[in-house]
A and B are shown apart, each in its own frame.
Chain A
């Protein structure tokens, strides 16, 4: 089954403790991206990647890092999480025929 898999689904962490949210797709898509969803703001793109080793900032990249060492994986890294990064995060991948979203990761930073 074609899918985008994110882990974990839920995460509660403390300010400053580094964390990684993993994202994997099994569709051999070149393009992957991360979004955050916040009430009243919709979805905003954090980072995207057009291919292996090619990443670029989206609309709200501050406080986040990404890497794309393999085509299938695109982890989102928060080096020093802060409470304003509490949000619902979505990974997505695309081949140009349509975007597939993961099920989301709900992150709470206390």
Chain B
């Protein structure tokens, strides 16, 4: 079945450091890929997505590129802030409506990111 593997944290960085959170996946077909963010005490919010190979999703300074050859979707940010402290989930959807994940999302276990001032 489909699966997502992401680096487990916590990951602790200083403010303005460069961030990479690795994510690799296993899926049949051509899934859509997502990064979700969960701030303390809140639900999940879509951070960015990519629906086909070589697409780059970006939002709030975060970027991730859909790499089919390496089955990866690593999340990067050039300069993190304390407000980026959260749990980040990589996810995929290979359903009928794969653009929006209507067949359900398969999540990684989440990476807890802590940014220190």
Contact = CB atoms under 8 A, between A and B. Distances in A.
A98 B46 contact: yes
Given A90-B43, A103-B43, A104-B43, A98 B104 contact: no
A96 B99 contact: yes
A74 to B, nearest CB: 13
Contact of A94 (B42, B97, B109, B110): B97
Contacts, number: 58
B102 A96 contact: yes
Interface residues of A, number: 24
A58 B104 contact: yes
Interface residues of B, number: 22
A90 B46 CA distance: 14
Nearest to A56: B104
A104 B44 CA distance: 9
B25 interface: no
Interface string B78-110: 000000000001010000010111111101111
B105 A45 contact: yes
Contacts of A84: none
B109 A101 contact: no
Given A31-B97, A94-B97, A96-B97, A45 B104 contact: yes
A102 interface: yes
A101 B44 contact: yes
Interface of B: 8, 36, 42-46, 49, 89, 91, 97, 99-105, 107-110
Interface of A: 30-31, 33, 35, 40-45, 48, 50, 58, 90, 94-99, 101-104
